[in-house]
Structure 1
Amino acid sequence: MAALTAERMAQPPTPPRATGYARTQFMIVKIPVVPDADDLYHQREDRIDQALKAKGLGTVIGWGDSLGEARAGGSRRVAYTRVDLDVLEIEAARAELQVILSAIGAPAGTEIHYSRDGASVADIYAPPEWRLAQPVVYGIRQG
């Protein structure tokens, strides 16, 4: 390991892409489950991943179903599919996600979750538009 000399400390830091490691940020897409329109083979996640990778914006790191409110008798149905993302630039990823989600027929109520200035916010799909940067408190959208 190279010694930290005054000369070395005065040099600008190595850009993340030069090291092969880029600082990434976490985002989540929540896609409501719509009866008779489910994505059994999870092709949406693949299309989201391909779109982000094609533009060098990030990747899908996982996905899963999330349960809704308890029904009478205590059972809970799947309410939405959650897609976890690792992105390089939130603003660029948001713009691309809005385009791809609209193109793949994401239902109304689809949400893109991210952080802005330390606050949790979400872009909400209300076709044909997106309501941008809606406040989220403890994972529940407020508005």
Structure 2
Amino acid sequence: MIMLVIASLMYLWVSLLCSQYIDYSKEQLYVSTILACAFLNGCIPLLYEQICNAAFPIPEGIIVGISAIVTTLAGVLYTLPLSLIVFKDNSWLEWSLLVVCVVGCIVMLITPQRNGRADLEVSIRVNKTVHYERLGREHQVLLVASEKKVPENA
């Protein structure tokens, strides 16, 4: 979440620079763009992990594959107008990046956090421990019972 917020702030900086609300300089544009891309690309594995947790019973490979296809299609749909239509003003590009990051932050906030896989692993460990403890007690009871029933002469 923090990485998405920082990426949003960096894209806000880019948008303000390109719209000339802040004095433009190439150095500021380079720094803000590089930091925005670094933070946005850095949170991609974390987002995939969240998606896998949200759709837990479904195998991870299927979920990551579908997510990758959806992400690729969204990227194509984002850049398709640039190749088909000539715009007089492309200022909507940097603002749309900011909007996408902010929408991502909002979606992360309203999505319930589930740890189905981690909860399942913990419950399996607890169940195994309880099962083995119960088996140990039953084994001890059987040993004590068998010692009482066997005559000493045998």
Q: TM-score range by the shorter chain?
A: under 0.3
More helix by share: 2
Larger CA Rg, structure 1 vs 2: 2
TM-score (norm 1): 0.26
TM-score (norm 2): 0.25
Q: Which structure has the highest strand share of the two?
A: 1
